[in-house]
């Protein structure tokens, strides 16, 4: 019996620029178990750089994965990333209650490029330093206009978004539940989507900071489509390594390498900024997730250019699942693509 009576499942819904992913997990005393999961590719240009251009198509795709997952609960965990979201870390004097809220709001007003009246704010205490009587605070700000439109879309699908996460922290949640965090190793969790690459840094065994790089795999997609004159479906299959026998692999590698320069430049800037902020010389380890982790030749090229050892993220490493119940999804092959919805489904709801 996979699931015990009384166990509660949590649903993670990831609305990406290329596809919609849904994962339902149950937590038991032995860990997490996959109840169901589904992926539905979106039509071309349905979502571009956070903008939902084909609302009906996105709703149809969400409802399709709902049907495939056969969800009973309407409560879902969702996430944001990209231009409409800002994360920052602040250090303030140790406070509590209304006094802490006021101090955080004051700092947010000084730092946010948006008017604080136009954003929804949340925060989390990362660490308390009793010696200095200081608090490290993670501040998250989302533009209200974007957030309301996003939640409205999900509600129109018949769902109830009970937690709004960020993609980067969903990746972090998936990582700490599947891997031992080495306090002696500085690690960069790199989640490469179609329009945005989320980067989250771990230092001294805990969260340090996060940064969204405004470039993803869309440029690689476009280059392959143009070079090999493929339609949308065949280009996606090529990106997922399913066209090895039909496409010249040397030409494919050259196309991918050429189209990856913008991503490399964005990551180098992000890494250099982090190293200056954290006062360190090197990043010891890089863990790659998202659609970029599945693109042929990309992880190896990324590792050689960045000169950082790289590992492909497996968010199912410590999760039990029955392949026969997942109807040909082959989760072991697409696992990096499931990192964000798995991380969200690991959130405790209620």
- Range with the poorest average pLDDT among 34-48, 71-85, 149-163, 244-258: 71-85
Q: What H or E segment, with its residue span, contains residue 37?
A: strand 31-41
The domain segmentation of the chain, as residue ranges, is: 1-83+147-178+314-350, 85-142, 180-313
Higher pLDDT, residue 116 or 342: 342
Provide the pLDDT for residue 309: 97
Q: What residues contact residue 198 under an 8 Å CB cut-off, 6+ apart?
A: 81, 166, 167, 168, 171, 189, 190, 191, 210, 211, 212, 213, 290
The SS3 call for residue 297 is coil
| pLDDT tens digits, 117-176 | 778 878 778 888 777 888 888 888 888 888 888 899 999 999 999 999 889 999 999 999
Give the integer Cα–Cα distance in Å for 225 and 234. 8
User: Rounded mean pLDDT of 12-33?
Assistant: 90
Provide the pLDDT for residue 339: 96
- Range with the poorest average pLDDT among 34-43, 187-196, 283-292: 34-43
**For 89-124, b where at least 16 C-beta lie within 10 A, e where not — what string?**
ebeeeeeeeeebeebbeebbeeebeeeeeebeeebe
What integer best gives the mean pLDDT of the chain? 88
| pLDDT tens digits, 163-176 | 998 899 999 999 99
- From the candidate CATH numbers 3.30.1490.300, 3.10.400.10, 3.40.50.2000, 3.20.20.140, the one assigned to the domain spanning 85-142: 3.30.1490.300
| pLDDT tens digits, 288-336 | 999 999 999 999 999 999 999 999 999 999 999 887 777 667 787 889 9
Provide the pLDDT for residue 5: 37
- From the candidate CATH numbers 3.10.129.10, 3.40.50.150, 3.30.420.40, 3.65.10.10, the one assigned to the domain spanning 180-313: 3.30.420.40
Provide the pLDDT for residue 141: 82
Give the integer Cα–Cα distance in Å for 38 and 35. 11
> Running DSSP on this structure, what letter comes out for residue 346?
T
| pLDDT tens digits, 103-112 | 877 877 776 6
- From the candidate CATH numbers 3.30.420.40, 2.40.37.10, 3.90.1150.10, 3.30.465.10, the one assigned to the domain spanning 1-83+147-178+314-350: 3.30.420.40
């Amino acid at each position: 019996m996979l699931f015990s009576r009384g166990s509660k499942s949590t649903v993670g819904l990831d609305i990406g620029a290329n596809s919609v992913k849904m994962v339902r997990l149950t937590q038991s005393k032995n860990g997490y178990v996959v109840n169901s999961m589904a992926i539905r590719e979106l039509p071309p240009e349905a979502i571009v750089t956070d903008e939902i251009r084909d609302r009906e198509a996105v709703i149809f795709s969400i409802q399709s994965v709902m049907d495939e997952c056969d969800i009973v609960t309407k409560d879902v965990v969702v996430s944001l990333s990209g231009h409409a979201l800002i994360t920052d870390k602040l250090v303030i004097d140790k406070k509590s209650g209304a006094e802490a809220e006021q101090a955080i709001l004051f700092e947010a007003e000084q730092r946010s490029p948006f008017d604080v009246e136009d954003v929804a704010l949340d925060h989390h205490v990362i660490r308390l330093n009793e010696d200095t009587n200081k608090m490290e605070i993670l501040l998250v700000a989302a533009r209200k206009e974007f957030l309301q439109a996003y939640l409205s879309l999900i509600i129109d699908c018949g769902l109830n978004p009970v937690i709004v996460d960020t993609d980067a922290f969903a990746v972090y949640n998936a990582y700490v539940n599947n891997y031992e965090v080495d306090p002696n190793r500085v690690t960069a969790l790199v989640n490469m989507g179609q329009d945005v690459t989320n980067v989250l840094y771990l230092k001294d065994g805990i969260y340090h900071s996060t940064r969204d790089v405004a470039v993803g795999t869309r440029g690689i997609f476009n280059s392959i489509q143009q070079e090999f004159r493929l339609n949308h479906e065949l280009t996606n299959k090529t990106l997922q390594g399913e066209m090895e026998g039909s496409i010249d692999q040397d030409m494919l590698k050259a196309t991918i390498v050429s189209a990856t320069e913008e991503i490399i430049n964005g990551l180098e800037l992000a890494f250099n900024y982090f190293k200056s902020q954290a006062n360190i010389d090197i990043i010891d380890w890089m863990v790659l997730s998202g659609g970029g982790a599945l693109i042929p030749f990309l992880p190896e090229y990324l590792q050689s250019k960045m000169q950082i050892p790289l590992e492909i993220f497996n968010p199912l490493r410590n999760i039990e699942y029955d392949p026969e119940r997942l109807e040909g999804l082959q989760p072991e092959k697409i696992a990096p693509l499931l990192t964000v919805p798995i991380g969200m489904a690991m959130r405790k709801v209620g």
